[in-house]
Structure 1
Amino acid sequence: MVEHVRVVIVDDHSIFRSGLKADLDETIEVVGEAHDVESAVAVVTDAAPDVVLLDVHLPGVAVPAGTSGGAEVIRRAAASLRQAQDGAEPSTRFLALSVSDKAEDVVGVIRAGARGYITKGSSGADVSRAVHAVAGGDAVFSPKLAGFVLDAFGAPVGETASASDELDRLSAREQEVMRLIARGYAYKEVAAELFISTKTVETHVSAVLRKLQLSSRHELTAWANARRLL
């Protein structure tokens, strides 16, 4: 887990921004806030945070049909950061935090480049864990939203590769852990679900990644997604 994470909060409700800022844990530093598309792009470009927590529906400039203010922030801010960094790929990652649980909203911001999507019903502790996970390179989704992403980015019906040989490399417990991790569960949530310790979960995840020759939770999600295992 990253020890210290710099975050920008983008939401058009100042009360929500204040409440979220107060609920985040002490390892997360809020280095900027914004309330609409234009201010978000400016603040993110200036602060170059580790993570941007942003709402999906934001006021401001007109956005292309079929997209959202949040998706537009991701596209414009990423382009602006690349320009400011002489073309280098920015390290800033985007995590959507919204009241919406509509498939089109979830898929829209993920296509734009968000590394995760969680709902505003999440606790401060849940959001903090998600921020750290995204800062560390993982993809994070509220469990009930993961299916939207899997449906949108999965392999076409009839072209799904058989995973039986690869799954045979994993023990039954490793397969259980793999599915939960791939769905976006945090280690502590997996431990609670399976009644095992967090340390045991970490051991199983390491074994799964090694056996499947993967390097991160993000790759594991893509692997499981392509094989329709979730």
Structure 2
Amino acid sequence: MSTRTVVIVDDHAMFRSGVRAELGASVTVVAEAADVDEAVAAVLAHRPDVVLLDVHLPGGGGAEVMRRAALAPHPDGETTTRFLALSVSDAAEDVIGTIRAGARGYVTKTITGPELVAAIDRVASGDAVFSPRLAGFVLDAFAGTIEVAAVDTDLDRLTEREREVMRLIARGYSYKEVGAELFISTKTVETHMSSVLRKLQLSSRHELTRWASDRRLL
């Protein structure tokens, strides 16, 4: 397998370092970025084979990175850059929205290093890469069995961080576990959770779980 060039985009420096370590010498990491502006600049400067792109990113999210990169001039003869989403979220609307924005694949942060290397190579070769569960979301969306527009309307009330907290809490994570997963304090998790319940007009985490389950967000 030829060595692929990669840009890692995530707003957590510790996570970027972990990904770089997992990839080892199997790929060449040419740059890292923590927000939309940095990501677009890195993509245009290095024209990597693949961008490992977080979905919920400061400055507009991963979709904004792809939109702005697509609008930039693409000189003839340069390598086509493809985007592989690497996210903590495995919610249907995130997967579908990211693919609609131009990503060639979507994997979650539970992926192993060797699996990620293989996914990078496949995406760079032009293949689409998903875990079986996430591929099902995409097929369901094309079949019309997921009402993505309705889900998006509900979630528009929440910030990107609130969405992440909401999904983890709805899955049964404790506040401490959510904090560890998202690299934020337990107090911050509590603050986000209070905001989520208020915006969605829910009174408990049990109601939140039912709300998320009804919308296939778990």
TM bracket (short chain): 0.5 to 0.7
Contact 2:12 2:34 survives alignment (8 Å): yes
Question: Unpaired segments of 5 or more residues in structure 1?
Answer: 64-68, 158-230
Contact 1:7 1:51 in 2 (8 A): yes
**For 1:71 and 1:153, how far apart are their aligned partners in 2?**
19
Q: Percent identity?
A: 63
Contact 2:48/2:79 (<8 A) preserved: no
TM-score (norm 1): 0.60
Match of residue 85, structure 1, among 75, 78, 94? 75
1:50 aligned residue:
49
- CA drift at 1:89: 8.8
Rounded to whole Å, the distance in 2 between the matches of 1:143 and 1:25 is: 26
* Structure 1 residue aligned with 2:113: 124
Instruction: Give the Å deviation of 1:116.
Output: 0.2
Question: 2:97 matched to which residue of 1?
Answer: 108
**Which AA in structure 1 matches 2:75?**
Q
CA distance in 2, matches of 1:41, 1:78: 10
Residue 197 of structure 1 corresponds to none
Q: Which ranges in structure 2 are unaligned for 5 or more consecutive residues?
A: 146-218
Secondary structure of 2:5's counterpart equals strand
Partners of 2:6 and 2:67 in 1: how far apart?
18
CA contact (8 A) 2:49 2:79 kept: no
Distance 1:142 1:117 in 2: 8
Q: Could you report, residue by residue, the CA deviation over 1:111-155 in whole angstroms, capped at 9, with x for unpaired residues?
A: 01100000001111111110011011110001111111111224x
Kept after mapping to 2: 8 A contact 1:78/1:90: no
**Letter of the aligned partner of 1:125 in structure 2?**
P
Describe the SS at the equivalent of 1:114: coil
**1:135 alignment partner, one of 124, 127, 130:** 124
Give the aligned residue type for 2:120. Answer: V
> Within 1, Cα distance between the matches of 2:95 and 2:104?
11
Rounded Cα–Cα distance in structure 2 between residues aligned with 1:90 and 1:78: 13
Matches of 1:5 and 1:78, distance apart in 2: 20
Report the RMSD for the aligned CA atoms in angstroms: 1.8
Structure 1 distance, partners of 2:118, 2:78, is: 25
Q: Is the 8 A contact 1:25 1:128 kept in 2?
A: no
- 1:26 is aligned to 25
* DSSP-derived class of the 2:89 partner: coil
Counterpart of 1:31, as a letter, is V
Deviation of 1:27 after TM superposition, in Å, equals 2.6
Query: Residues 71 and 90 from structure 1, CA distance in 2 versus in 1: closer, same or farther, beyond 3 angstroms?
Result: farther
**What's the counterpart of residue 35 of structure 1?**
34
- 3-state SS of the aligned residue for 1:117? strand
What is residue 71 of structure 1 aligned with on the other side?
63
Measure the CA separation in 2 of the matches of 1:9 and 1:126.
16
1:90 CA drift (Å)? 6.2
- The residue type equivalent to 2:41 in the other structure is A
Quick one: distance in 2 between partners of 1:148 and 1:84? 31
